[in-house]
């Protein structure tokens, strides 16, 4: 391992995330010693081309075989292109693309070859962040919570607050910023809330050939089917105590529920399901949060934001209200986590993934081997 990286002091870390919505690679720089955030650096985005997206989609839910290998190649090329322009980088955090996630069964699979990326970029790369946590009995997700804790400190937050990430799947982090470290008992509670944008995206693709319900325009024209919403909330997942996590397609039944509805009513109902799942999840939080800061693409959907605000007893705001970048928070998270892994610090704990004890997962690959 590179000496400078293992030592204390602030590093310039570059994180890369390819999320469940399969839109592209987000990349962002964070300056950190693995504990505090000293600053945020430049960011970038490399979209997946339609043919690349089709390859990734074909591999979703698979654990091995030609489709998985092809998806790995797409991820490797896209990440190299997304990351090669950044300068002065000490270390890279490479999440890869989740293809399958079944922590209590077959495990969790993120494709992407971190050793090859380290060689190509000439920079140490931390990757395979989730496997050790799963091996230790954890859910392997969500992993952003340790970074959310650092963000709460960076903001100077004094009261409990939540970060809510609305990508393909939703995940929430409840934070007590009065605690001194993220692994301290009571500092964090995190879990996946339920499906977020993935079912709406799938509906738009199936019925309209579109990637998303932009601005919630279609949902705004529809009426929520309350009976179906109740049926959705009857799913066992919502009664389960956190920590808990989901695969992108675990809630395929939500899409089935709305099959008989008009396009607009189906969009409205699926959007309401995302918001209702969050409200349900909030019941697990140890204390009511002062505010919920929303990150991920869902914060751009005003219909969803209104439904969220209607279901929660606190301020619901995009993370920009706290001076953060909601398009880059996950990429920044993996930059931050990379430094922690390289320095032997934990990246998850019982409150975030249900792992037996705080653990720092990940492989560190340095250019030229190992």
Ligand X SMILES: Nc1ncnc2c1ncn2[C@@H]1O[C@H](COP(=O)(O)OP(=O)(O)OP(=O)(O)O)[C@@H](O)[C@H]1O
**DSSP calls for 267-326:** HHHHHHHHHHHHHHHHTTSSS--SEEEEESGGGG-HHHHHHHHHH-SSEEEEGGGGT--T
Rule CB under 6 A: is residue 296 a binding residue for ligand X?
A: yes
The correct pick among 126, 162, 190, 212 for binding ligand X (CB under 6 A) is 212
Residue (83 or 118) nearer to ligand X, CB: 83
Binding residues among 136-175 for ligand X as defined by CB under 6 A:
165, 167-169
Report if residue 197 touches ligand X, rule: CB under 6 A. yes
Query: Of 213, 229, 217, 227, which Cα lies nearest the Cα of 269?
Result: 229
CA–CA gap between residue 268 and residue 263 (Å, rounded) = 9
Work out which of 167, 177, 350, 362 binds ligand AH0, going by CB under 6 A: 167
Q: Is 176 annotated as a binding residue?
A: no
The single-letter DSSP state of residue 241 is: P
Asked whether position 249 contacts ligand AH0 by CB under 6 A, the answer is no
Entry field: residues in the chain: 370
**Interacting partner of 344 out of ligand X, ligand AH0, none (Cβ under 5 to 8 A depending on kind):** none
332 binds ligand AH0 (CB under 6 A): no
Is 24 labelled a binding residue?
A: yes
**Binder of residue 301, out of ligand X, ligand AH0, none (CB less than 5 to 8 A by kind):** ligand X
Binder among 242, 289, 298, 346 for ligand X (CB under 6 A): 298
Q: Is 347 in the site for ligand X (CB under 6 A)?
A: no
Residue 292 burial by Cβ neighbours in a 10 Å radius (0-12, 13-18, 19+): buried
Nearest distance in Å: CB 200, ligand X: 6
Q: Give the CB-side neighbour count of residue 139, counting CA atoms within 13 A.
A: 20
Burial of 227 (0-12, 13-18, 19+ CB in 10 A): exposed
Rounded CA-CA distance 113/151 in Å is 29
Member of 122, 215, 227, 344 binding ligand X (CB under 6 A): 215
CB of 330 to ligand X, least distance (A): 6
Residue 113 interacting partner from ligand X, ligand AH0, none (CB closer than 5 to 8 Å by kind): none
Helices (H), the chain: 3-6, 50-59, 66-83, 114-121, 131-135, 145-155, 198-208, 217-221, 226-233, 236-239, 252-257, 263-282, 302-311, 329-342, 350-353
Q: Has 20 been labeled as part of a binding site?
A: yes
Report if residue 192 touches ligand X, rule: CB under 6 A: no
CA 326 to each of CA 54, 154, 197, 296, 320: distance values in angstroms, whole numbers, following the listed order: 26, 15, 15, 6, 7
CB of 97 to ligand X, least distance (A): 9
Please report, as residue ranges, which positions from 170 to 199 form the binding site for ligand AH0 (by CB under 6 A). 171, 192
Residue nearest to ligand X (CB): 297
Is 370 annotated to bind a ligand? Reply is no
- The single residue among 330, 334, 355, 364 that binds ligand X, judged by CB under 6 A, is 330
Asked if 241 and 287 count as a contact pair (C-beta separation under 8 A), the reply is no
Q: Confirm if 308 and 285 have CB atoms less than 8 A apart.
A: no
Binding site for ligand AH0 (CB under 6 A): 19-20, 98, 101, 108, 141-144, 165, 167, 169, 171, 192, 245, 330
**Which residues define the annotated binding site for ATP?**
19-26
Binding site for ligand X (CB under 6 A): 19-21, 23, 165, 167-169, 197, 201, 212-216, 296-298, 300-301, 330
**Which residues define the annotated binding site?**
19-26
């Amino acid at each position: 391992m590179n000496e400078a990286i293992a030592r204390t002091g602030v590093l310039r870390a570059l994180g890369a995330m390819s999320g469940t919505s399969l839109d592209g690679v987000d990349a962002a720089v964070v300056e950190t010693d693995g504990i505090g955030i000293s600053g945020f650096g430049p960011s970038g985005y490399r979209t997946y081309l339609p043919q690349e997206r089709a390859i990734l989609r074909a591999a979703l839910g698979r654990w091995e075989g030609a489709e998985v290998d092809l998806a790995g190649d797409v991820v490797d090329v896209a990440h190299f292109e997304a990351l090669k322009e950044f300068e002065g980088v000490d270390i890279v955090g490479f999440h890869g693309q989740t293809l399958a996630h079944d922590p209590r069964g077959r495990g969790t699979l993120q494709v992407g070859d971190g050793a090859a990326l380290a060689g190509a970029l000439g920079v140490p790369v931390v990757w395979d962040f989730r496997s050790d946590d799963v091996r230790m009995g954890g859910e392997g997700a969500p992993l952003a919570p340790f970074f959310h804790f650092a963000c709460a400190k960076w903001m100077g937050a004094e009261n409990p607050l939540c970060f809510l990430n609305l990508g393909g799947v939703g995940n929430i982090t409840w934070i007590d910023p009065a605690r001194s470290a993220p692994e301290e008992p009571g500092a964090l509670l995190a879990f996946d809330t339920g499906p977020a944008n993935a079912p709406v995206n799938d509906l738009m693709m199936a019925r309209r050939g579109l990637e998303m319900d932009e601005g919630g325009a279609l949902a705004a024209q529809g009426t929520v089917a309350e009976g179906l919403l109740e049926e959705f909330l009857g799913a066992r997942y919502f009664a389960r105590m956190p920590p808990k996590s989901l695969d992108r397609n675990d809630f395929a039944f939500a899409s089935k529920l709305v099959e008989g509805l008009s396009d607009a009513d189906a969009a409205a109902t699926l959007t309401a399901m995302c918001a209702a799942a969050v409200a349900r999840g909030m019941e697990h939080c140890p204390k009511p949060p002062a505010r919920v800061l929303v990150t991920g693409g869902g914060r751009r959907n005003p219909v969803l934001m209104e439904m969220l605000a209607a279901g929660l007893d606190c301020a619901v705001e995009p993370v920009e209200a706290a001076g953060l970048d909601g398009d880059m928070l996950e990429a920044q998270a993996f930059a931050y986590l990379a430094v922690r892994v390289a320095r032997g610090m934990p990246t998850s704990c019982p409150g975030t993934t249900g792992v037996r004890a705080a653990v720092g997962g990940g492989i560190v690959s340095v250019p030229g081997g190992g």
